[in-house]
Each structure stands twice: as structure tokens, then as C-alpha cells.
Amino acid sequence: MIRRVVQVTFAAIAAFVLAAPMQAAQAQNAQVARGKYLVTIASCTDCHTPGFFLGKPDNARFLGGSEVGFAIPPGVFYGPNLTPDKETGLGNWTDDQIITAIKTGKRPDGRELVPVMPFPAFASLTDADARAIVAFLRSLPPVKNKVPGPFGPTEKPTSFIMTVIPGAGMPQPPKN
């Protein structure tokens, strides 16, 4: 009888010990899946995947940074590499630094992100959703891709630029 109790107890402990890592992995997989969903519906791929604006997204370098910049005063800015590459991406950023950039538009070096990055809308992300985005970005294969720029108003960009120019008959911005 005692031997049977010991066997059952041992089996229960073994099952618990073996199940805990599987549950943690499932929770991590669910968090990464949630992050992928959020990155997809937020269209992060548009500005951060090479080739997207040229009509041929390079999914081998998914979220690896764009070669097409945005001409927005005071300069030209390119969607940076969001992969965990340590030299050209977010590999040296902490989770909290990535979340701060997503939700407030502030980089670890103090520079502010350009307004085309919709951080005011992302400020409302829940902590769980922001952490899910980070988990997804960390799950990507690192892509070594240094994007051009940023370029100030007196500097000449070295790659394609997207500029919004109002057409004939379009409403013009107010003049101050």
C-alpha cells in the first residue's frame, strides 16, 4: 500500500514537473501569436519590410527595415529594422525600451520617432499587448540590414523617397 502511494505521488510530481515547461511554452507561443496578429493588423510590415513600397515585399527580410524613406519635415526617415539583429536591429534594446518606443515614440538614445510612426495610437496598447509585440519581434530571425538615414533638411538621401504632393484641385494646407 505504501509502495503504491509512493508510486502515485512520484508519478504526480513527475507529471507536474514535465507539464510546467510545456505550459510555459504554450503560453509563450500564444503570446508570440498575439504579437504577430497585432503587428499584422497594425500594418507594421508596410514601413518595415524591404520591398513593400516597391510592390515586392522581401519576406526573407521580414520587418528588416525599408529602403524607401518618408519625406517629412525636417528630413527623410526610413522604417528601421525591427528584427533582433544586434548591429542593425533591436537586438540590443531591452523589452522596456521597445515598448517605450512603440507607445511614446521615444528611442533609448532620446531621439523621437517621426509622426508617420503611429505611436499616439499605440499609446493605448495594454501592457500585455505591448509585451506580445515584443515577444513576436524577438521570435523573428535576425536580419542584418542597416537602413539609410535619417537625413536632415540639408542632407541628400541615398535611396528612394516617398513624398506626398497635393495634386491639382486638391485642397491645400492652410498658410500661416
pLDDT of 40-71, one tens digit each? 999 999 999 999 999 999 999 999 999 999 99
In this prediction, residue 72 has a pLDDT band, given cuts at 50, 70 and 90, of: confident
Q: Say which residue, 133 or 22, is predicted with more confidence.
A: 133
CA-wise closest residue to 136 among 80, 101, 86, 90:
90
Q: Which three cell numbers stand for residue 109?
A: 538614445
- Percentage of residues in the chain having pLDDT higher than 90: 68
Q: Tell if the pTM clears 0.85, that is, is over it.
A: no
pLDDT value of position 170: 64
pLDDT value of position 27: 58
pLDDT value of position 168: 72
pLDDT value of position 35: 98
pLDDT value of position 109: 94
Q: Say which residue, 3 or 31, is predicted with more confidence.
A: 31
Q: How far is 150 from 160, CA to CA, in rounded Å?
A: 13
Return the domain boundaries, the chain: 45-162
Q: Which amino acid is at 159?
A: S
- From its phi and psi, is residue 167 left (phi > 0), alpha (psi between -120 and 50) or beta? beta
Q: Diameter of the chain by CA atoms?
A: 92
User: Alpha carbon of 87 to those of 44, 147, 151: distances in Å?
Assistant: 21, 11, 20
In this prediction, residue 1 has a pLDDT band, given cuts at 50, 70 and 90, of: low
Instruction: Kindly tell me if the per-residue pLDDT of 111 is higher than 80.
Output: yes
Confirm if 81 and 155 have CB atoms less than 8 A apart.
no
Buried b / exposed e over 122-134, threshold 16 CB at 10 Å, is beebeeebbbbbb
CA-wise closest residue to 136 among 91, 83, 78:
83
Backbone angles phi, psi at 70, to 5 degrees: -110, 125
User: Listing from the earlier edge strand, what are the strands of the sheet with 75-78?
Assistant: 75-78, 68-72, 160-162
